[in-house]
Chains A and B, each alone.
Chain A
Amino acid sequence: MEQPPQTDEELVRAFQRGDRQAFGQLIERHQDRLYRLALAWLGNSDFAEDAVQEAFLRGFNSLPRFRFGATPFSWLYRTLRNICCEINRRQSKLKAFENAELAVWKDRTGHLATGEQSLERIRALIVQLPTRQQEVVLLRLFEECSEEETANAMGCRRGTVKALLYKARQQLQLGLQEERVS
């Protein structure tokens, strides 16, 4: 009995051979991660959903010609990042991190769910960081991507990821201290 493909690369290869279900598995595997990142950048659940959908659609059209120069996730991540930048440019009122308040679904009492609350807090924490450091913090600390995966996704070297993370940690320590005082 043939084993189902496991890694992203195998799924993409299966998709390239014409297995449409493989792409469905890719979606299932990465949609939560990409959605969280999009929500962190855009601060709006509707835009985040649109961005993730668009990223997968672009993937659907481009992955048949994918040459495995990067990992499928890093490719999807970069696509999503570009889409979020486009959306932010279009919706100047909703620039990433400018407004820490999330525009997401709230429960009947008007409160955010736990996940959204934590995201709101994270956004408030990293708002002070430069964009690249925000990316590193989200990918390395919250998404728990490996150094190599983060470097691939951000299109930089592992050393750069380390340096960015080091600076971000320092800044965050200051941020956290201020939070404690207030």
Chain B
Amino acid sequence: MSEADWEKLKDDYQSLKAPEQLQPRILLAMEPQRSGFTPVRVWQIAALLVLGVAGVWGTLQFQPLESQQMSKLSAHVVVSTGVTLPKHPLESTVWLGMSKPALRSLAIIRPRLSSMSLRPSSRFLLGSRPRKGR
């Protein structure tokens, strides 16, 4: 290839331009990024906030009842050092003054309680761990 051919090749290459619509396209693509809070984003944030508040409210609706009962139970148990559950854990609703779902949830929270349903006559301590060697 001669020098002239090479120059022509270079000139032809440099004559290649980006399409005219490219710049407006880029500027258009930047548009939503100029303002961080577009209407859609505002709605998304509002929806998330509403969902979050509803979630917290829902949790608070159920949480206090159980935690009240838990504290009732723990107060009851801390005072007494040894407790024997009745044969079936659900029978203890009357004894503990708790609803069945609350007792179930307690049994889930405390695995040792749930194990009592298998060994109803076992003795156990609530609120304090049995010490080693005892």
Taking Cβ atoms with an 8 Å cutoff, the residues of A that contact B are 20, 23-24, 27-28, 31-32, 34-36, 39, 45, 49, 52-53, 56-57, 60-61, 114-119, 121-122, 141-144, 176, 179-180
Contacts and interface: CB of A to CB of B under 8 A. Distances in A.
B23 A122 contact: no
A27 B22 CA distance: 10
Contact of B23 (A28, A36, A116): A28
B34 A20 contact: yes
The 6 closest A-B pairs by CB, nearest first: A115-B16, A118-B12, A35-B18, A31-B18, A118-B13, A115-B15
A90 to B, nearest CB: 19
A36 B26 contact: no
Contacts of A34: 18
Given A176-B1, A179-B1, A60 B12 contact: no
B30 interface: yes
B13 A36 contact: yes
Contacts of A28: 23
A37 B15 CA distance: 13
Given A60-B30, A114-B15, A27 B9 contact: no
Given A115-B12, A121-B9, A57 B18 contact: no
Contacts of B26: 27, 31, 52-53, 56-57
Contacts of B23: 24, 27-28, 31
B34 A115 contact: no
B95 to A, nearest CB: 65
B17 interface: yes
Nearest to A23: B30
Contact of B19 (A49, A61, A114): A49
6 contacts: A31-B23, A49-B22, A114-B15, A116-B16, A119-B13, A122-B9
B12 A49 contact: no
B56 interface: no
Nearest to B25: A53
A36 B14 CA distance: 8
A107 to B, nearest CB: 14
Contacts of A35: 16-19, 22
Interface in B8-57: 9-10, 12-19, 22-23, 25-27, 29-30, 33-34
B67 to A, nearest CB: 47
Contacts of A32: 16-18
A119 B17 CA distance: 12
B123 to A, nearest CB: 67
B30 A57 contact: yes
Contacts of B30: 23, 56-57, 60
B13 A52 contact: no
A142 B27 contact: no
B12 A117 contact: yes
